[in-house]
Amino acid sequence: MARIQRDYPNNGFYGIGIMHGKHDHNIGTLWRSAYIMGASFIFTLGRAYKQQTSDVVNAWTRIPLYHYENIDDLKEHLPYSTRLIAVELDEQSISLATFKHPDRAIYILGNEKNGLPEPVLAACHEIVQLPGSFSLNVAVAGSIVLYDRVAKSERTLPG
Ligand SMILES: C[S@@+](CC[C@H](N)C(=O)[O-])C[C@H]1O[C@@H](n2cnc3c(N)ncnc32)[C@H](O)[C@@H]1O
């Protein structure tokens, strides 16, 4: 039987989450960006999310919001053939400007106070860094990474 050739509008998917997020308004802001920029899911790692007004689109009602206990839990449930990308200021990092986003990716950000700990960085396939030598707000950093992914792809966004 002949195979039917089809063009699919989007190749791949991505999720984004924060480890031990401290301020719910930052988490809510990131979820809002994630939904608008086409994330397939969002997650918390180590600290569950309480609903927050900065997530004005209520992203968790539109795409799944997962919770993982720790990085091992996340790695155990990583979708097949999906890259885990740490977003962090780090000597090992790749500059976002030259980073080629994998088709299937999970982006993980650190919290407002401590950033991502070394074992989590080591557990990730890649680390990406935004320009500048100072930390940005976590929701701003995450939103820029998402924008960069969208800008470098031809992904169709929701709505
Ligand atoms: C406010 S920062 C953490 C600051 C922490 N005090 C530190 O120095 O590691 C919160 C998170 O935002 C992300 N972030 C902020 N600025 C970044 C940058 N320039 N490049 C990559 N990630 C960044 C990282 O995920 C970081 O863990």
d(CA 89, CA 115): 9
For residue 68, give its domain range.
13-80+93-103+129-151
Does ligand 1 have an atom closer than 6 angstroms to the CB of 143? no
Rounded to an integer, the average pLDDT of 55-60 is 85
Q: Render 51-78 in DSSP notation, one character per residue.
A: P-TT-TT-GGGTS-EEEESSHHHHHHTP
Please, which pLDDT band fits residue 139 given cuts at 50, 70 and 90? very high
Domain containing 139 — which CATH number?
3.40.1280.10
Is the predicted pLDDT of residue 150 greater than 70, yes or no? Answer: yes
- What span, in angstroms and rounded, lies between the C-alpha atoms of 131 and 150? 18
Atom 12 of ligand 1: nearest residue by CA position: 138
Kindly state whether residue 85 falls inside one of the protein's structural domains. Answer: no
Res. 158: pLDDT tops 70: no
